[in-house]
Amino acid sequence: MSAVTAGARPSPAGPDDSGAGRGRHGARPFRVPVTTLRKRIGSTRRLEVQGRVEGLATLGVSVPEGAPVRADLELCSDPGGITATGTVTAAWEGECRRCGGTVAGRATSAVRERIVPEDSAEEDEDAYRMTADELDLEPLVRDAVLLELPLAPLCSGTCLGLCPRCGTNWNESPCDCRPLADPRWAALDQLRDPSG
């Protein structure tokens, strides 16, 4: 965990920013004081924070309860606001879309987002908002993770799935049902199956 302030115009560290990134792992780890950063236009600050974000889930895939989301960001101030660049990562768990078995992975999202003051006239619908002295990164972090959660994961690219007739898990054993091949679905599966 480190919080480094590096700017073209060094000046005494403000009392507000010191120690952010450390000692901020309580209930709101993603709340970052920004007064000093915004005072020094053009300065950047490296931020590594992690914490829990509630309710990170899509259909069948979720970040396990208690698993931290990690943000490794560089905040750069300019006259209109702050640009956050870096990565957000989180572990996820889900159900294989073919056999229903457990699948786990790690989502890594490349971030480049704009953050402007609440009262900013900047017409950027996608920009996140901050107060005069504090930036809450949680909405940004949440969106970044949700975007990277897989829609329909596979336990393995070669998962055989379940028999549609008797429900036997074909990864574990074959069954005696006659094959129910539908070439159209097989072709679609091939197309949607680049990564697993």
Query: What string marks each residue from 138 to 157 as x (binds Zn ion by CB under 5 A) or -?
Result: -----------------x--
Query: Whole-number minimum distance, CB 95 to Zn ion, in Å?
Result: 9
**Contacting residue, 8, 27, 166, 180, with Zn ion by CB under 5 A:** 166
Neighbouring C-alpha atoms within 13 Å toward the C-beta of 18: 5
Contact call for residue 59 and Zn ion (CB under 5 A): no
The binder of Zn ion chosen from 165, 182, 185, 188 (CB under 5 A): 165
- Region binding Zn ion by CB under 5 A among candidate stretches 15-23, 58-66, 108-116, 162-170: 162-170
Query: Is residue 149 within 8 Å of 107, Cβ to Cβ?
Result: yes
Buried/exposed code over 7-29 (b: 16+ C-beta within 10 A; e: otherwise): beeeeeeeeebeebbeebeeeeb
Binding to Zn ion (CB under 5 A) within 78-107 occurs at 96, 98-99, 101
| 57, 76 Cβ separation under 8 angstroms | no
Instruction: Find tokens 């780890």 and name the residue.
Output: 29
Number of residues that bind Zn ion (CB under 5 A): 12
Residue 32 burial (C-beta neighbours within 10 Å; 0-12, 13-18, 19+): buried
Q: Examine residue 162 and tell whether it contacts Zn ion (CB under 5 A).
A: no
CB 107 within 8 A of CB 148: yes
Interface with Zn ion (CB under 5 A), residue from 4, 151, 177, 187 = 177
> Contact with Zn ion (CB under 5 A): which of 1, 132, 175, 188?
175
